[in-house]
């Protein structure tokens, strides 16, 4: 299976918590969002543990996709680190992990 990882923004912790509690209850969803106080590889890997309802994915492969992003997107990571550092201290940096196959099926069902 194939997974993608991308950093998508910075948001207050309460907004992110509310989103996870309300939207991420479906274990068959195509994507999950990770929140971390630090824009670091370790921070995002640790954030996997607090996903309320984890999709039934291969989480070792998800971690591999996060590591791959970290190895190949240095400029993007530095930009997001600066954005987080310049934001309110109670903000989280948010990333999206997607199951590419399930996401493709979702898009095809829309057509």
SS3 77: helix
Count of structural domains within the chain: 1
Specify the length of the chain in residues: 111
The 3-class secondary structure across 25-68, one letter per residue, is: CCCCCCEEEEEECCCCHHHHHHHHHHCCCCCCCCHHHHHHHHHH
Q: What's the pLDDT at 1?
A: 61
Per-residue pLDDT of the chain (111 residues; tens, 9 = 90+): 699 999 999 999 999 988 887 777 777 788 899 999 999 999 999 999 988 778 889 999 999 999 999 999 999 999 999 999 999 999 999 999 999 887 777 777 777
Structural domain of 63: 3-110
Q: What's the pLDDT at 110?
A: 76
Please tell me the pTM assigned to this model.
Answer: 0.88
């Amino acid at each position: 299976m194939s997974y993608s990882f991308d950093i998508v923004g910075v948001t207050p912790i309460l907004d992110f918590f509310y989103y996870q509690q309300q939207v991420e209850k479906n274990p068959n969803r195509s994507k999950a969002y990770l929140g971390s106080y630090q824009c670091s590889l370790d921070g995002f890997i640790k954030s996997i543990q607090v996903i309320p309802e984890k999709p039934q994915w291969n989480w070792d492969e998800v971690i591999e996709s996060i590591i791959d992003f970290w190895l190949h997107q240095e400029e993007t990571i530095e930009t997001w680190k600066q954005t987080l550092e310049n934001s309110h201290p109670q903000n989280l940096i948010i990333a999206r992990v997607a199951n590419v196959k399930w996401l493709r099926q979702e898009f095809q069902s829309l057509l």
